[in-house]
Amino acid sequence: MRRKVIAGNWKMNNDLSGSISLISAIKNGLSEKGTDNLVIIAPPYTSLETACALIKDTEIKLSAQNMHFEESGAFTGEISAGMLKSAGCEYVILGHSERRTIFSETDEIINKKLKKALSSELLPIFCIGETLEERESGKTNSIVERQISSGLDGISESDFNKIIIAYEPVWAIGTGKTATPDQAQEVHKFIRNLIEKIYSKNSAEKCIILYGGSVKPDNSAELLSQNDIDGALVGGACLKSYSFLEIIYSV
């Protein structure tokens, strides 16, 4: 049985003081009740080292929000996989729609990042998803298939088994709109079938596929009850400890 995963992507929010307060509140909430779910937090770069120290000796795992595919060099403002490892990260979010749309990251760039993360022993959370225009024109499956096939190009099955996939329909991210449980389940099932074609039935069955896109306490239970939805990549609702904890405990 696949373990449920709840990951919080803080995006460009919280300075060091805010990060300490939020992590402390999440820790306190989890210590009271415990959880069998895997909990991951992705603070901004400036809080990673402090976050690592705060979550030491807990079950909370640390993720970065992005990284460059080169290890070092003249790439002003970028962060390498080695730097993330040294700050205590185990995971890294790659291919998020905001990276694709705002920063023009292509499938090819994301493929390079996935390969670099894997070779550096970072576990990728690989994001995919369609825009509203693409959904309304009936292109959801073709877009998802292209992003997955291109992103995983040249990645072995053993390496793929270290990847978490996050389906995030772009039209539902930060908009308050959410795919219905049936809509989300339909795409998650399509993704799992696609993984079976690319790799194997075993890898498809083991693959953890998260849903992201305006996940909140009032919709998380129904979304996470679907057969092929294995958790959530939470945005805005992870910035308040109480709402993030409600989502964790809604599974």
Q: Three-class SS string for the chain?
A: CCCCEEEEECCCCCCHHHHHHHHHHHHHHHHHHCCCCEEEEECCHHHHHHHHHHCCCCCCEEEECCCCCCCCCCCCCCCCHHHHHHCCCCEEEECCHHHHHCCCCCHHHHHHHHHHHHHCCCEEEEEECCCHHHHHCCCHHHHHHHHHHHHCCCCCHHHHCCCEEEECCHHHCCCCCCCCHHHHHHHHHHHHHHHHHHCCHHHHHHCCEEEECCCCHHHHHHHHCCCCCCEEEECHHHHCHHHHHHHHCCC
All structural domains of the chain with their residue ranges: 5-248
Other CB atoms within 10 Å distance of the CB of residue 202: 11
Mean pLDDT throughout 160-169?
97
pLDDT score at 179 = 81
User: Per the structure block, which two tokens stand in for 116?
Assistant: 């670099």
Q: Which residues are catalytic?
A: 96, 168
Q: How confident is the model at residue 242 (pLDDT cuts 50, 70, 90)?
A: very high
Closest CA to 168 of 150, 183, 153: 183
> Is pLDDT of 131 > 80?
yes
Mean pLDDT throughout 211-230?
95
Average pLDDT in the chain: 95
Mean pLDDT throughout 71-91?
98
Chain-centroid distance of CA 154 in Å reads 21
Mean pLDDT throughout 37-43?
98
- C-alpha angle 42/47/48, rounded to 5°? 60
CA 63/CA 165 separation, integer angstroms: 14
Angle between helices 241-248 and 16-33 (to 10 degrees): 40
Encoded amino acid at 74, one letter: A
158 φ, ψ to 5°?
A: -65, -40
- pLDDT tens digits for 94-124? 999 999 999 999 999 999 999 999 999 999 9
CATH of 5-248, one of 3.40.50.720, 3.20.20.70, 3.90.1200.10, 3.30.470.20: 3.20.20.70
pTM of the model: 0.96
pLDDT score at 203 = 98
